[in-house]
Amino acid sequence: MMRQYELVERVKRYNPSADEALLNRAYVYAMMAHGNQKRASGDLFFGHPLEVAAILTDMKLDEATIAAAVLHDTVEDTEATLEEINKTFGPQIGALVDGLTKIKRLDLVSKRAAQGENFRKLLLAIADDVRVLLVKLADRLHNMRTLGFMPPEKRKRIAEETLEIYAPLAGRMGIQEMREELEDLSFQNLDPEAYEAINRHLHELTAKSEKLVDEIEQTLTTKLKAQGIDAHVSGRQKRPYSIWRKMERKSVSFEQLSDIFAFRIIVGTLDECYRALGTVHTSWPMVPGRYKDYISTPKQNDYRSIHTTVIGPGSQRVELQIRTQEMDEIAEYGIAAHALYKEGVNDNSRLATESRAYQWLRRTIDLLAEGDNPEEFLEHTKLELFHDQVFCFTPKGRLIALPRGATPIDFAYAVHTDVGNTAVGCKINGRMSPLLTELQNGDEVEIVRAEGQTPPAAWESLVVTGKARASIRRATRAAVRRQYTGLGHQILERAFERAGRPFSDEKLKGALPRLARVSAEDVLAAVGRGEMFSGDVVRAVYPDYKEERRTGTETRIAGEPDGAGEKSSGEQSSGIPIRGLNKDMPIRFAPEGGAVPGDRIVGILTPGEGVTIYPIQSSALADFDNEPDRWIDVRWDLEFGSTQRFPARIKLQSINEPGSLAQIAQVIADHDGNIDSVNMKRRTQDFTDVTIDLTVWDLKHLNAIIAELRAKRVVSRVDRITG
């Protein structure tokens, strides 16, 4: 266990002006508070916060963060109080400890929805001071290092959570060294056999390649020195988890991997980075497609470096990373490498301008205000955490960073939510392209928009960014709500008309307290969804109204189409107009047989689904005879010359002989019918029952098809099914 003077010495090595008295007070206070508490390993508990502090001293953090790390478990696990911490160490350290205590109380290993809510709380806890996150990550790292003392089931749960949330979060903050160790420790606990197998291969390869690595280091150093570039070249072996992921992603064996070793070239200046690149590329052939310049276009976690792969000495593929010392520090320690914390200054506004990683964190926290539920928020944030990036440009030259695999739809939403919602097409590098095209580095993307457009719900499963998914989901919900609101308005207009009472939004607003709704739109949407019956609204607006309950039989009469029966034009106009499956109203047709123009129809209101249209002769309507409030007067209202098709179902008995099904299909095709599905069942040795779902223009079209089928020798009987 680290002694008191050792902690102080570790901090003063990189910050000679550190507050030694503060560190001593924190050490003694935490040691006395934890007393003889033990961890699962049997070691004194106080050793854990000291190890967390040691991890943070390696990252050269300020003394306030180190003191908070030493104290981070005192409020939660001892009798110490936050008031005491504030009084003894000041409000800054008190705020850090308070944020860590809130996170400690979260049980992220839980059901998905609860995990999402807790992840939201975690991000909110670090919103005010990102140092809370740095201490939490160090805390998780030490816990993972000592995970072997936990029961197997708990080890698995904690390792999964670390791999899903904490490791990628460390990566997004640019702390690559910590991310890699968290990934390896999780991998070791989740799949120990695979971990050991890869480790064994790595040890064998290291023993074989030791001379080759030395040769490449010396050759690179010599060539760079000849060009006047003083560089530090070091080869490093890739980590087990990153190798495992590459093997899975590319479906290759360990032996097929050619870039197990990566070489880092650290130079003095930005200019030397590009001079070193020129030296490398003029000395050895470059592997096409393996050059990336993260200096001119840094990653969102502030990572800056040049990546290239060449065919080096011994015809070996050599992966190189070229950067300055400052870039290397940021690559290793990310947001913790900023001089801001080394100075002991807590100024997030300065950090926000300095750190793209912190800007990403703030944008992610801003998503909390968008109203997504916790499960969706966790899903979206994981999408943001796990993907590598591509860099694209708007026509005006604005750089947009997106996850790899992103489409122009993701690009549109990254530019602005309104641009995404109204997108109907795109140009990539000046050429019209599908909206689902996968974007590549350097693409210039122009979004073609149409005002009034609503994004299709199917887009949600096609995009890869959390922002796009959240925006599409919100737009879809808003569109569905508008549909239900419009339907509810029409239902209420006709309900008030039948009751002989005037209807207006003002009268509806006056009845809101009796309807227990906040707004008139809420009432309309509830009526449209079937959660509130129109009669209840009429009685809420007019308490003296006495409704005469209608029977299902009386209600059925109201759905006769134009030109059918003896209905008056006044009766006909009272029904809600039905145009088929469109965006204006949440309508669907009876699942067993559908309905077509020319049928007398009736609508049944189903909570959460809108209105289902049935032909008046459908036997399924008997199920709703005792629910008169669900019956809705509807009528066909198609534009002249409409070619929209509607669903119908027919059942045939056909003779079992070769080509009979082909003859049936030919009749339907000759009459321009469209077959959706066919189901066949052998009735006897000589006959087969054939059920066909098809779409037609109207009743006349359907009857013509049925008549032609009946005339066929291979068909003994044809009937329409209406449920």
pLDDT at 551: 41
| CA 103 to each of CA 119, 122, 179: distance values in angstroms, whole numbers, following the listed order | 9, 6, 19
Distance CA 323, CA 211 (A): 25
Hey, do 4-190 and 646-721 end up sharing a CATH topology, with the first three levels equal? no
pLDDT at 386: 46
109's tokens? 């290993």
What's the full length of the chain, in residues? 723
Assign 3-state DSSP to the chain and report helix, strand, coil percentages, each to 5.
55, 15, 30
26's tokens? 């924190």
Distance CA 288, CA 462 (A): 30
pTM value?
Answer: 0.56
Contacts of 632 (CB under 8 A, 6+ apart): 491, 576, 602, 603, 604, 605, 611
Give me the residue spans of the domains in the chain: 4-190, 194-337, 549-636, 646-721
The answer to whether 719 and 707 are in contact (CB under 8 A) is no
Contacts of 349 (CB under 8 A, 6+ apart): none
The answer to whether 198 and 187 are in contact (CB under 8 A) is no
Mapped onto helix, strand or coil, the DSSP state of residue 423 is strand
Strands 634-636 and 576-578: parallel
Secondary structure of 571-618 in HEC code, one letter for each residue: HHHCCEEECCCCCCCCEEECCCCECCECECEEEEEECCCEEEEEECCC
Pick the CATH number of 194-337 from 3.40.1710.10, 3.40.50.300, 3.40.50.2020, 3.30.460.10: 3.30.460.10
DSSP string across 486-499: HHHHHHHHHHHHHH
Apex 330 CA angle, 326 and 336, nearest 5: 120
DSSP string across 238-274: PPHHHHHHHHHHHT--GGG-S--EEEEEEESSHHHHH
Q: Any idea what DSSP says for residue 626? A: T
Which stretches of the chain score pLDDT less than 50?
Answer: 106-113, 339-353, 368-369, 371, 383, 386-387, 549-573, 582
pLDDT at 641: 67
Architecture of domain 4-190: Orthogonal Bundle (1.10)
pLDDT at 110: 43
pLDDT at 338: 56
Catalytic positions are 76-77
pLDDT at 112: 47
Pick the CATH number of 646-721 from 3.30.70.260, 3.10.620.30, 3.30.479.30, 3.40.50.2300: 3.30.70.260
